[in-house]
A = this chain, B = another copy of it.
């Protein structure tokens, strides 16, 4: 029986989950591998040798030096679960130089430095597997790279940050507002003390970058992703959207555009009848549309020890199966052969086309709606849905909510400027994009 030896970098939540699966589900994994391979955790790099462990580490060599793991001649596969883009990058570069295969959950590292890492890995003949980097336990990387390989992918749209989806779900409750719900999320451990990374869409942008690359066969382009957070969405917006038959979701969207690709993360109105509108709480889901398959959706828990480690161990099994496969026959790291990646441009957010939800407060005077309509008409924007009601806290004002037809973003922005200069309109206009899919 062949032995495959793992070196782990990190023994936190996901590292502990990974060791736990390897220990408790060994029989089931052996039944799949046909008893021909045994998987051994050889060494683990930890922060502090004296800390209490969530798992039994008897017989495993613990070290505080991650470079010792990547340089260990007895390690075949390096499993990187430490996070960050500096030391982790150094370690993986060194591991690749040492011709060790990589399994990593590090979305930031892949999104920001993947282009170089995959090139070096190809030159060294090793694999980098990263299923756990996107949407936790959902095997979305495998679906995009293999399951839908017969398709030209047209677009994908995902709820790929559980914190944000939890907050938007809780905000459906009457009277709930963002800061109050965020506080609750922090108390429950769903949100960090500094929630920027999740709430402003940076984490989602990392995942979107990776999915876009393998969906379209383009380079990883994290710096080109347009990112807009959910902190300005109000409870009122969520209620109004529901009245119009929509839910507000924080989506990462990658789509083919007229002259390239559109990559963006922003709050989005999605029709109730679309399945992803019904994905609530901390759960993740990704819709993928292919030219032959049509629309598909993949749903599951996007974070946590068990789900993330489930993807890590699936990657370990995949890597083991491919060890003796000729390199050119393996599924390429980014789904497409590296020399086949295109560098089609990512279009500026001003150039995308979308329908828009607008919400603003206006004096409840005769003629105001006529003036608003006239400004929209001047920009060739048509109003598809309109809802007006008195403001709850100011009887002289009305809340006006509308959904427009599909127009260019620069056009709606001009119209918004014109509306905001109307003296009858109080404060800023809230603008949220409306999903084009049904």
Residues of A within 8 A of B (CB): 17, 21, 25, 28-36, 131, 137-139, 142-143, 146-152, 217, 273, 275, 278-280, 285, 290-301, 304, 306-307, 309-314, 316-318, 320-326, 328-332, 335-337, 339-340
Contact = CB atoms under 8 A, between A and B. Distances in A.
B301 A298 contact: no
A173 to B, nearest CB: 15
Q: List 8 A-B pairs, minimum CB-CB distance, nearest first.
A: A139-B147, A34-B337, A150-B313, A296-B300, A137-B293, A293-B310, A31-B340, A297-B299
A310 B329 CA distance: 20
Contacts of A324: 325-326, 329
A309 to B, nearest CB: 6
Contacts of A152: 25, 28
Contacts of A323: 329
A325 B325 contact: yes
Given A293-B306, A293-B310, A326-B324, A35 B147 contact: no
A25 B150 contact: yes
30 contacts: A21-B150, A21-B292, A25-B151, A25-B152, A31-B337, A32-B337, A32-B340, A34-B332, A34-B336, A137-B296, A139-B142, A139-B147, A142-B146, A143-B147, A146-B314, A147-B311, A150-B311, A275-B299, A290-B310, A292-B307, A292-B309, A292-B310, A293-B311, A294-B301, A294-B304, A297-B298, A297-B300, A298-B299, A321-B325, A324-B326
Given A137-B294, A292-B307, A324-B326, 10 more contacts: A25-B291, A34-B339, A137-B296, A142-B147, A146-B314, A147-B314, A293-B300, A294-B304, A297-B299, A322-B325
Given A34-B328, A34-B340, A337-B32, A292 B142 contact: no
Given A217-B31, A296-B298, A314 B278 contact: no
A151 B310 contact: yes
How many copies of this chain does one complex carry? Answer: 2
Contacts of A299: 275, 296-299
A143 B143 contact: yes
Contacts of A320: 329
B32 A332 contact: yes
A147 B29 CA distance: 13
Contact of A292 (B17, B149, B278, B297): B17
Contacts of A31: 217, 336-337, 340
A152 B310 CA distance: 10
Contacts of A142: 139, 142-143, 146-147
- The DSSP consensus for interface residues of chain A is mixed
A148 B314 contact: yes
Nearest to A329: B321
A340 to B, nearest CB: 4
Contacts of A278: 275, 278
Nearest to A28: B152
A139 B150 contact: no
A28 B290 CA distance: 12
B293 A301 contact: yes
A272 to B, nearest CB: 9
A309 B323 CA distance: 30
A233 to B, nearest CB: 22
Central interface residue in A36, A275, A293, A326, by most chain B CB within 10 Å: A293
